[in-house]
Structure 1
């Protein structure tokens, strides 16, 4: 292949990638200090790579306009883990949270500020995800992005004791396949968590920014919406996040995470 042909191929790849881009941005909240776990959950390994890199790749697979990754300060191993991806993809912007101990709301505020600085007029929606829901997959993100309401949120059981073997039979994952809730708040909110990952109208997110305080995040604001403003996607696999050594051990036993960390 000569130089002109190579240049043409590169241009075609870039054009295709641009055409696939959607009207959304990503905010990945990854500045947690993992105090209960006792080690950085961002650096847990899944399929041979740090969990933060895995989740960033998952987010990129939805072809966002921009990706904002919020990480804690003075954690060079976390910054180094995502450096290769950030170098390859100019739409990735890393934001340092200097006060991660104050809670999730601060990370989200910083993420919104970063999107405002980017000032991309094509943005209509923002997909917000964490990094420790180890069974999150592209199928669920696509389902969220397919929604048309101001907020399209995830719903799951919220059982904090899921790692106990007597409460989690091996066929539970087969029964917990993703489903669309036709009347989300009327049914799901009675017993399930309504939260991340979620897609939210960008203008609404900016309006809510001043109300984000402490560790409340968006959940209390979402519950104040009228039923015609929110759609819920039920996916009980999202309940399996990693907060404690016991949950980590069980996730590794099940093969959801590697045992190398």
Structure 2
């Protein structure tokens, strides 16, 4: 079952019965600079995403970061303002996203989640907004995931190539997503290197999964070319 996000979407009541894991410990090797510190409207991207996470009123936000002073300092400043933010430093960020998620699950051990729901999000989907997160939280399946095109297909979609935009090829089902806490802990031991949740989610029966479609999420930042495109569009600040 899928739904679409748009500016006219009805307001969905927020919940406080969830936790959030923000995966932000990537080394940005292909980009050549820390994507966490790219600027959007004058703020570092990691600050933008953490403030966005706060708007969903979670019980706790676990943010996994590399041991990089500019990033940890930015998170520490926000944590002083929002005590629900807890920072976990990943000492081995080169091991991949799955290890960061593993650390995030470990950090949730002492968190009471009455509805057993965890929102997992990254830091570089630069057009992610509050309405998408509230739509995810409104879902009731074991997994409520985001669905969007790959970068290549999204570029053609923005050029109004509807034959591509409507194609099911190259569609991604992934972050941000909501997952049942019990299932997340069950899968924890399978999280190694870059082997994250995607293959585990694909193995679930369709009745356990719903998706929220939002092709704005196609635009994450992994390469200098993607960064230049985002800056040209005005989605990120141009570097001085």
Bin for the TM-score computed over the shorter chain = 0.7 to 0.9
Partner of 1:84: 77
Give the number of equivalent residue pairs: 224
- 1:141 maps to 133
Please list the CA deviations of residues 23-54 of structure 1 after superposition, one character each: whole Å capped at 9, or x if unmatched.
Answer: 10000000000000000000000011000000
- The structure 2 residue matched to 1:53, chosen from 47, 51, 58, is 47
Pick from 224, 229, 248: which aligns with 2:208?
A: 229
SS in 2 for 1:134: coil
Report the equivalent of 2:119: 127
1:71 aligns with 2:65: yes
Bigger Rg over Cα: 1
Query: SS of the residue aligned with 2:87?
Result: strand
Q: 1:121 to 1:168 in 2, by over 3 A?
A: closer
Q: Is the 8 A contact 1:65 1:123 kept in 2?
A: no
| Bigger helix share | 1
Equivalent in the alignment of 1:6: none
Q: Is contact 1:33–1:101 with CA below 8 Å preserved after alignment? A: yes
Q: Counterpart of 1:63 in 2: which secondary structure?
A: coil
Moved more, 121-130 or 41-50: 121-130
Residue pair 1:25, 1:123 contacting (<8 A) in 2 also: no
Q: How does 1:99-248 map to 2 (within 5 A)?
A: 99-116=92-109, 118-122=110-114, 124-160=116-152, 167=156, 169=158, 191-248=170-227
Residues 19 and 113, structure 2, Cα contact 8 Å, conserved in 1: no
Tell me the TM-score normalized by structure 2.
0.87
**Which residues of structure 2 form unaligned runs of 5+?**
1-13
Cα distance in structure 2, aligned partners of 1:205 and 1:89: 25
2:87 to 63, 88, 94: 94
> Contact 1:144–1:152 (CA<8 Å) still a contact in 2?
yes
Deviations 1:150-174 (A, max 9, x none): 00001111135766xxx464668xx
Q: Could you give the per-residue CA deviations for residues 53-81 of structure 1, whole angstroms, max 9, x where no partner exists?
A: 000000010000010000012x0000111
Aligned partner of residue 68 in structure 1, secondary structure:
strand
Q: Distance in 2 between matches of 1:122 and 1:85?
A: 26
CA contact (8 A) 2:75 2:87 kept: no
